[in-house]
Chains A and B, each alone.
Chain A
Amino acid sequence: MIHSQNVTIRRLTALLLAALLAGCGKSSNPTPSLTIAVNAGVEGTALKTAAQEWGRQNATRIEVVELPYNNLFEKLLMDLTSRTGSYDVVMMDDPWFPKLVEGGNLTPLPEDPAGDFIRSCLDVCRHPYQAGKYYALPYVGNSQLFFYRKDLFDKYHLAPPDTWDQVLTAAKTIQAKEKMYGYVARAAPGNAVVTDFMPILWAFGGNILNADGDPAVNTVNGVAALRLMIELGKYSPPGYAGFNADEVSAHLLQATAPMSINWPAWIAAMDDPARSKVVGKIDFAQVPSAMKKGQAELGTWLLGVPSGSRNADRAFQFITWATAPEQMKTAALRGNPPTRRSVFESADLKQKFRAFPAQLASLETARPRPRTPLWNEIENAFGIYLSKANAGSMTPQEAMKRAQDEIEAILRRSQ
């Protein structure tokens, strides 16, 4: 009895192991398939819908892996560096690109992209930046805009927010005369504060890395830029040193603050009566200037094909199709700002999206974050000290000095 029981158990175990091993192997599948990793959000949703459509037309089974922003980067980093080939098409935020393209982890495009893509969006698809081969196609054209209450600027005869000085004057006036704060900045550490600060830093002629790639935040210009941000902070709601994008937009939507730097993803909400108390009152301008002409930060979503993919040809067919003018127009109607000039300029879209001219102008001069694989680490360190300065526990000089030290250490370690 015991003997027969043992035999049964052994058989069962063998069966289990066999099943496990079979699961690991590749089953031969007659219908071709594509696995696509997208951002869980409006950008990803549009791509998901497009992919299903393409799959039907091309007899391809589409699998979509939808991941939240931070998670997406982590998964891509692991998949690309270990070449597991879990994904055939990946959606990337442009600051991730220098890290993800490292070590040949993305496949170069079989041919250079054609047509009227906006230059700034194409440049970030190349490795090295601007000059090298293309490893991705730009899918969503994002760059910052300056959101401001046109009605209040008119009411108090304020000059349009072309310079940061004019912004400060307007913030002072509106805070004094209306029951609201004069401005809303965001200074939670990490991406939030760095994104809000970059256009100010650039307008003051500052940089994170100089032309030789050395840290350059601790300069007269850098300190002046941070001082301006803190000055703006005096008119921002208390606690803004913990704010992220959603708090900034909540203040605009609730009419408790009249202006901020913001991303195009929030434009639709401003004009949505269900969410907004300021429908039609907000105008979208270029990021203000100071010593230099204002430049927005670029945040373009890219599509690429990992080197580990076993379906590269089909993957390239799909991303070429998804970024062609016709599809991009459909994606624009689903809420994704395009990366092609012709789509921005098409008459019917311009009528539907009143901010398109401003978005196009912003994209054409927008500037990407420093093209370095160490960006996440630099942004983290820089963000901590910017946030501390905004919270008031460090002077601008001290914050820039500490940030400089920290960024120097990061670069030194990577050598």
Chain B
Amino acid sequence: MKGRLPWIAPAMVLLLALSIFPLIYSLKLGLKPAHFERMFHDRLFHIALWQTLLFTALALIAEFVLGLSLALLIDGLGRAARLFRAGLLMPMLLPPVVAAVAWRLIFNPQFGVLNGTLKGFGLDTSHLTWTNGEGAALLCVVLVDIWEWTPFLFLLLSAGLQSLPQEPLEAARVDGASWWQTTRDITLPLLKPVVLLALLLRSMDLMRIFDQIFILTQGGPGFATETVSLYIYRTAFRFGNFGYAAAMSFVMLAITTVMARSLMRVMKTK
């Protein structure tokens, strides 16, 4: 231990300065009963929380189903798989901010590419307002997230598939099992640890969604796409109320932790 201390000292100093101290400071700021009382009555916080959970659930399910299907499909392609894999990763390689700006232009109801193309097919687009309409805005934001982050789940699951042992699959095939039977009874159960990891990583990321929404809609129209992280950002940096923002962050941390734990429990018992 004594010999190692000089090696780890700089890292410890950095950790103390950049993580531990701010954490203690934010606990001191945030853990006041008044903040939690306000949160309990804060209608805007409740709506933002509900929308964050809805957004997370919709995006996670869609991205997982799509990512898994793509991974399974491409797994059987042999050499051509490489090309598809590279192509599918493109959206994920764009910085989220750039992607969001592009989508903002695409969704513009009068000058955007999307309505322009639909109009080209002879559709009446005058009332298709996408992110500018209260009803569809959240779904549009989910759509952009699916577009951008399905490749991430695809990549993880695809790598998981490649690392599976081949023997059980071959044995099943020899025994005359169909593709569907081997996938359901052998591939997916073997893939479970990777699935768990993928869902954990993605759901934690989704819960703190910020950049895409900030650029696409700023939480609007009205309050239709406001999420907790946007609300925390505004409270801290626009209104200067760091205490309440810290309290909300701790609540989000608690929710995310509970979510992750239950996800792990469900996956283990299954």
Contacts and interface: CB of A to CB of B under 8 A. Distances in A.
Interface residues of A, number: 45
A84 interface: no
A6 B3 CA distance: 7
Nearest to A5: B3
B109 A387 contact: no
Interface in B221-255: 221-224, 234, 237-240
B3 A2 contact: yes
Contacts, number: 102
Interface string A240-260: 111100010011001010000
Interface in A1-52: 2, 6, 9-10, 13, 16-17
B221 A391 contact: yes
Contacts of A239: 109-110, 129-130, 132-133
Interface residues of B, number: 33
B173 interface: no
B220 A241 contact: yes
A391 B133 contact: yes
A74 interface: yes
A178 interface: no
Nearest to A8: B6
Contacts of A406: 44
Contact of B129 (A10, A238, A256): A238
Contacts of B110: 237, 239, 251, 256
- The SS class assigned to the A binding surface is helix
Interface stretch (A217-225, A324-332, A351-359, A376-384): A376-384
B104 to A, nearest CB: 10
B3 to A, nearest CB: 6
B7 A241 contact: no
Given A238-B133, A239-B109, 16 more contacts: A6-B3, A6-B6, A13-B9, A189-B219, A238-B126, A241-B133, A242-B137, A243-B132, A377-B239, A384-B44, A385-B222, A388-B134, A388-B223, A391-B133, A393-B222, A406-B44
Interface of A: 2, 6, 9-10, 13, 16-17, 70, 73-74, 77, 81, 99, 187-190, 237-243, 247, 250-251, 254, 256, 374, 376-377, 380-381, 384-385, 387-388, 390-394, 406, 413
11 contacts: A9-B7, A13-B6, A74-B238, A81-B240, A189-B223, A190-B220, A242-B220, A256-B110, A374-B239, A384-B44, A384-B222
